[in-house]
Chains A and B, each alone.
Chain A
Amino acid sequence: MHFNGRERVVIDGPFTEAKELIAGYWIWECASREEAIEWLKRAPFDRGEEVELRLVDDARERLTGETQV
C-alpha cells in the first residue's frame, strides 16, 4: 500500500525481493486479507511511504494445528 497525503493506493503483488530499508514491522491478527487492508488504510502515514502486507501465520492453524482451507 502506497501512502500519499490522505490517499492510499493498494498495489497487488507479488513483489520482488526487498532491497530497500525495512524500517519496522507489525504483526496483526485479522480475519481476512481485506480486513488487514482496511486496518492498514488507517495507518497514519502521508509522505510516500509504502507498506507491504504479507501473510506470516494462520491464527486458526496456530490454535488448532489445522491448516485453514
Chain B
Amino acid sequence: MEPSATHRAIDGVWRIESARLVAGLTRVVRDVSVAEDLAQDALVAALQQWPREGIPTNPGAWLIATAKRRGIDALRRRVTLERKQELIGRELQIVQQLDQPDLMAQVDDVQDDVLRLVFMTCHPVLSRDARVALTLRLLGGLSTPEIARAFLVSEGTITQRIVRAKRTLTQARVPFEVPGRDELGSRLAAVLEVIYLVFNEGYAATAGEHWVRPALCQDALRLGRVLAALMPREAEVHGLLALMELQASRLRARVGAHGEPVLLADQDRARWDHLLVQRGLAELHAAEQLGGALGPYALQGAIAGCHARARSVEETDWPRIVALYDGLAALTGSPVVELNRAVAVTMAFGPEAGMELVDALADEPALRGYHRLPSVRGDLLVRLGRHDEAREEFLRRRSLRQRLRARAAPLARSKLQRVSRACHARGTPARERGGVSPPAKADPRSGGRANRPSCPDRPICTISLRRLSVSCGLVRRVSRRPQPLRNHSEDNMRKLILHMIISTDGFVSTEDGNVNPAAHWSEEIQRHYTDLFDRAGGVVFGRNLYEQYVGHYSKVAAGEISAETDLAPEDADNEHFVASHLAWTKRLMDMDKFVVSNSLSPTTPAIGVISGDIEAQIQQLKQQDGGDLLLMCGPSLFAVLNASQLIDEYMFYVYPNALGRGKHLYRDVAAPISLTPERSVPFADGMELREYTPEYAA
C-alpha cells in the first residue's frame, strides 16, 4: 500500500476507534486529559509503524495495548525524574491502573464508556464553545486543525480551548459516568444541544464565506447516529436525529444555481435527498414508538417530517403542523413559535384564522422590535385583499426599525447602524428565512405562490438556541472559579490590548457622552470582532462603558432586543450577518469580564470587579492563564493604565470624522506617549484600524 493510502487507512481506523480508545482509557485512568495524551501517543506510534509493517489485524487492540505500554513507560520515567510528592502519588496510581493485566477485558464494555465520555465532554461545567470543541475532538475524532478549519478560528484558539476544557474537567473532578435518572434529562439536553450546535453551524454558518458547511452537518449527523445507537430508549435523541436528517435532506435544494438561498416553498422537492428523508422519518417513527409526549427536538423533527412527506406545499398536512406547533408552543412558550404557528394556521384554515392569531400577538412585548410580525401581518392582509392596510403594515415595519434605532442611539451603544453600501454589496446573501417572507411580486410563473406565505423551513431553531444559551449562562458560572495563579515568565504573560473607537481628532465620545456617531456595524467589522473576541481570553471594562456596552449586548444575547436592530435597515434581512452578530453577543456574554470600579458591587458572580489597587490587580490578571485581555474604557482609566505601563498594545478604530469636543482620549494623560506603529487596516466603510505598541512595551 502506498503511504498516502496507509495514512488514509490510519485516518479511517482513528475515526472508528478513537472515541472508544479515549473512552476506555478514561475509565481506567480516570482523567480525560491523561487518557487523550495516551491515545495520541498510540496514534503517533501507529503513524510510525503501520506504514512500515502494515495495519495490524485488530487495530483497536493494538492501539490500546500501545497506549497502555507507552503510558506506563512515560509515567515511570517521569516519576523517577520528578520528586513532587503528590504527582508521584497520582501517577503511580495511574501506572497501577494501566498495569492491570485484564485491561482489554475491561475495555469490552466500551459502548458504555463512549456514552460516559459524551456526558463528560458535554458537562455543564464547560463553556458551550469548549463542549463543542472537546466533543468533536474526543468523540468525533477530529484533529485540532480540522476543528479550527470547521469553525474558522485559529488552531491556537482551539488548542487552548481544548487544553483549558480538559483542565477544567480535571479540576472540577467531573465523574466519568452516565448521570442518574434525576439529572439525566437536563444533562442529556446539554449533550443534544452540543450536537445541534455543530449541525446548525454547518446548516447556517455564522462565520466564513459559505453559508452552509456540509462537513459540519455530516459530523453532527454522525454524532447523532452514534448517540441514537447508544441511547435507543431516549425519544429526544431520535427526535434530534430525525430533525437533523430531515433538515440535511434539504441542504442541496436550499441553494440556487448561483449560490442564492431558496425558500422551502420554492424548493425543487426532487432535489431533496430521499435517503436522508427516509432515515429522518425512521428516526421520527422510533421517537414516536417510545411513547410519551414528544420533546422540543422531536416536535421540530415531526414538523420537518410533515414537509418531507408532502409532494408540494399544497399537499402538506398543515393541520398536523398546527397541532405540532401547539405542542411546541406549550413547551417553549415562545411568541416566535406562536408566530410560526399562525403561519401554519393560515395554510391550514385560511388567512382569517391566521389573522386572528397574529392580531392577538400584536401586543406581545417580546415581539416588539421583531420586524417579522408586521411582515407576517402585511402578508396576511395582502391575502385578505386589504391592500391599503397591508401597505401601512409594511411601512410600519420600516418605521419600527427606524424608531428602534433612534431609541437605541441615546443608550450610547458603541456602534450605530449606518452601514456602508460597499460592505453590504459584498455581503453574504440574505439567508433562507425562518419566518415568513415579504409578499412576492405577482409572478405569472409562480402561479398561486405569490400570495402564499412561505412556510418556515427552520421553524424555531433561533428560539431553541436562545433558550439553550440562557441555560448555558446559568451553568457557566460554575466554571468561573478564580483560575490558579501560575508563575509565568514575562514573555508568556497575557497581553492587555486597548480597544478604542476614536474620531480623527482623538475624541472617544461626543459631548453628550455618546459613542462616535460614525461608528456602526458592518459585516466586515462583525467578522473582525468575531475573530478578535474569539481569540481574546477576557475583557477589562471601565465602569461606564461596561454598563452601556454589556448592558445593551446582554439584552441582545438574551433575545430581549432583537439582533437585527443593531444593524442598518438594509442589513436586517441578511440573516448570516444577523446570526453572526447574535453569536458574537453570546460570545461576549460567555467571556470572562472584569469591571474597574470603586463603586460597583459585584451583582453577579460572572463578573469580576477590580477596585482598590487597580494596577496590582490588573498585573495579577495578566499573569493568569488564558488568552489576551481586551481593554475597553474611557480616558481616565486609559491614563492610569498607560502611566503604569500595563497596556501592551493599542488598537485604535479611527472613524473618518472630527468631533471637536467631547471626551478626548488624552484628556488625563500627563506625559507624552511614544508609539511604534505595527499595522494599519483600512475597512471598506472608511474606518481605519491602527495598531501600535507603546514604547515601554516594545
Contacts and interface: CB of A to CB of B under 8 A. Distances in A.
A30 B12 contact: yes
Choose among B12, B217, B273 the residue with the greatest number of A CB atoms under 10 Å from its CB: B12
A59 B255 contact: no
Given A62-B252, A62-B276, 20 more contacts: A31-B11, A31-B12, A32-B12, A34-B11, A34-B12, A35-B8, A35-B9, A35-B15, A35-B16, A36-B12, A37-B12, A38-B9, A38-B55, A39-B12, A39-B16, A42-B16, A62-B275, A63-B218, A63-B252, A65-B252
A60 B214 contact: yes
Interface string B49-64: 0000001010100000
Contacts of A16: none
Interface string A29-69: 11111111111001000000000000001011011110000
Contacts of A6: 57
Given A34-B5, A38-B59, A65 B255 contact: yes
Nearest to A61: B252
B134 interface: no
A34 B8 contact: yes
Interface residues of A, number: 22
B12 A63 contact: no
A63 B11 contact: no
A1 to B, nearest CB: 13
Contacts of B461: none
A35 B10 CA distance: 8
B412 interface: no
A30 B225 CA distance: 13
B13 A38 contact: yes
Interface in B174-232: 212, 214-215, 217-218
B34 interface: no
Given A6-B57, A38-B59, A39-B16, A32 B11 contact: yes
Nearest to A10: B1
A32 to B, nearest CB: 5
A62 B273 contact: yes
Interface of B: 5, 8-9, 11-13, 15-16, 55, 57, 59, 212, 214-215, 217-218, 248, 251-252, 255, 271, 273, 275-276
B273 A63 contact: yes
A65 B271 contact: yes
Contacts of A38: 9, 12-13, 16, 55, 59
Most buried by B among A33, A38, A64: A38
Contacts of B9: 34-35, 37-38
A69 to B, nearest CB: 14
Looking at chain B's contact residues, is the secondary structure mostly helix, strand, loop, or mixed? helix
Contacts of B276: 62
A51 B11 CA distance: 22
A63 B16 contact: no
21 contacts: A6-B57, A30-B12, A31-B15, A32-B8, A34-B11, A34-B12, A35-B9, A35-B15, A37-B9, A38-B12, A38-B16, A59-B218, A60-B218, A62-B252, A62-B275, A62-B276, A63-B214, A63-B248, A63-B252, A65-B252, A65-B271
Which among A36, A57, A64, A65 has the highest number of chain B CB atoms within 10 Å?
A: A64
A33 B4 CA distance: 12
Q: Which 5 A-B pairs have the closest CB atoms?
A: A35-B12, A63-B214, A34-B9, A34-B8, A38-B12
Nearest to A36: B12
Contacts of B218: 29, 59-60, 63
A21 to B, nearest CB: 25
Contacts of A8: 57
Most buried by A among B8, B271, B276: B8
A40 B396 CA distance: 62
B13 to A, nearest CB: 5
A31 B214 CA distance: 13
Interface string A15-34: 00000000000010111111
Nearest to A32: B8
Contacts of A32: 8, 11-12
B57 A64 contact: no
Nearest to B253: A65
B224 to A, nearest CB: 13
A62 B55 CA distance: 31
A15 to B, nearest CB: 19
A51 B637 CA distance: 72
Contacts of A60: 214-215, 218
Contacts of B215: 60
Contacts of A36: 12
Nearest to B257: A65
A33 B214 contact: no
Nearest to A59: B218
B71 to A, nearest CB: 24
B308 to A, nearest CB: 15
A27 B214 CA distance: 20
A38 B16 CA distance: 8
Nearest to B55: A38
A37 B218 CA distance: 20
Contact of A33 (B8, B15, B55, B255): B8
